[in-house]
Amino acid sequence: MMEKIIIIGAGPAGLLMAHSLLLRGKYKVELYERRSDPRLIEPSNQRTFPLTLQLRGLQALESIEGLKDAISSHAILSQGTLLHRSKGKPRQIDRKTPIWMTDRNQLTVVLLEHLLNRYGNDHLTVKFDCTCIDLDRQQNTITLQPRDGKPFSVGFDRLVGADGVRSRVREVLVKTTDFQCEQEYVPDAYISAFSPRINQDKNIELAGDRIHSWNLGEGMRLLMVPQAEDWLHGTLVFPPDCNPLEGLQTGEQVLQFLQEHCHPLGELMPLEEANALKQRQPSRILTVKCDRLHDQDRILLIGDAVHAVSASIGQGCNCALQDVLFCTGLLDQYQDDWAKALPEFSCQRLPEVHALRELADYTFPRSKPMFLEFLFHVMLGKKLTQWFPQIFQPFILTEIFETDLPYSQILNRHKNWINRVKLSMGKA
């Protein structure tokens, strides 16, 4: 008899987990997502935050036949980064191994359509607009609240919590077991920004194969990532008490600010986008650190539900997808004995996700002297490594972005840098 597995959360990690479990041919899967079906959202409302997929995430996608190819048609290859300056040409940082640039909604839609096309209603149920409001660990049931309707309960044999940083599954475990969880806000706020990449009337465009970065000073920066159809999706990051847009009254003033500090973005962004940017409320990123990733042999947590980190090095989605690859590998090893696989999953993955948190928090320095040193390593590090491999090892960013080395190994190799950044931030 097939076991029933309920997955809470139909984001990239939850959808890839559904793919991987159904591929095993031993399970029925029910997916519940509090958001609406992303395929039904108007294109103008589909803008979310940009994602970069690197080796770790791509290897996880390759575990499902045809999935990487399906996503490739909706992604753009990044050959590096352009660090824009107020004067002079941007500094160009090339990347040996290109990364894939896409948008969270786009990635989710591709994963969902591929899943439904492959399995349809055969052993698969997907329900949107359905929020998990309770979990009964004794009865192995969850209670769900549809957007329009009365709450209902369903039973499960196994439960996967892939329901993001404010995971209801995790909350119940914290309240009803000895499950330990720390939550902390990243010391930055951000606002999402969107703009066309090209203005044909003014003969202006930003490179479509590069991530664009502007350092505004005083802890403020803007990052814009090229997307399909010649758009840029990105984030304006700033200290919570120092929103650079707060004193601006009109969209025209926003465009003037961008032209002065983020040239040529002020000439690319339409007035309606500038007005929308001015009206958006700042958001904060909540990080999550737990003492394990499972509960007994019934409940598994993956992705942001159990190890949300700062977006500074773009590894959150890659790590979440990699969770699925590790978990299914252990199910292979233990022949789907969850009582053995889940504790081993926590044992193997916990050091990695904790190391990732350190890397995400302390790879980028905030002090000006260390930031200049950081730029030196980024600009010349690869050449020095090639010329003097006995003396210079690859810089920390190179190993994060261009290899699939375990996060714990990267942290150990660059512990000196991490400790120096911590010291400069008063965290040591």
Query: What's the pLDDT tens digit per position in 397-426?
Result: 989 998 999 999 999 999 999 999 999 888
Tracing tokens 């980024």 back to the chain, one arrives at 378
The predicted pLDDT at position 46 comes to 55
**Cα distances (angstroms) measured from residue 284 to each of 134, 292, 301, 337:** 26, 25, 23, 39
The predicted pLDDT at position 255 comes to 97
66: left (phi over 0), alpha (psi -120 to 50) or beta: left
The predicted pLDDT at position 378 comes to 77
CATH of 3-42+104-182+288-360, one of 3.50.50.60, 3.40.190.10, 3.20.190.10, 3.40.50.300: 3.50.50.60
Using 50, 70 and 90 to split pLDDT, how confident is the model at 176? very high
The predicted-structure confidence for 221-241, as pLDDT tens digits, reads as follows 999 999 988 999 999 999 999
The predicted pLDDT at position 95 comes to 86
Using 50, 70 and 90 to split pLDDT, how confident is the model at 345? very high
The predicted pLDDT at position 155 comes to 98
**Cα distances (angstroms) measured from residue 401 to each of 121, 356, 410:** 38, 13, 11
Domain ranges of the chain: 3-42+104-182+288-360, 366-425
Mean per-residue pLDDT of the chain: 93
C-alpha–C-alpha distance, residues 190 and 285, integer Å: 8
By C-alpha distance, which of 55, 98, 321 is closest to 209? 98
The predicted pLDDT at position 419 comes to 95
What dihedral do alpha carbons 10, 282, 372, 391 form, nearest 10°?
-20
On the question of pLDDT at 326 being above 80, the answer is yes
C-alpha–C-alpha distance, residues 30 and 373, integer Å: 50
The predicted-structure confidence for 85-113, as pLDDT tens digits, reads as follows 878 889 888 888 889 999 999 999 999 99
* DSSP, residue by residue, 322-385: HHHHHHHHHHHHTTT-HHHHHHHHHHHHHHHHHHHHHHHHHSS--SHHHHHHHHHHHHHHHHHH
C-alpha–C-alpha distance, residues 274 and 259, integer Å: 12
Check residues 372 and 407 and name the one with the higher pLDDT. Answer: 407
Tell me the average pLDDT across 31-57. 85
Amino acid type, 291? D
C-alpha–C-alpha distance, residues 285 and 310, integer Å: 7
The predicted-structure confidence for 12-41, as pLDDT tens digits, reads as follows 999 999 999 999 999 999 999 999 999 998
Tell me the average pLDDT across 264-291. 95
Using 50, 70 and 90 to split pLDDT, how confident is the model at 153? very high
Strands 130-136 and 50-53, sheet pairing: unpaired
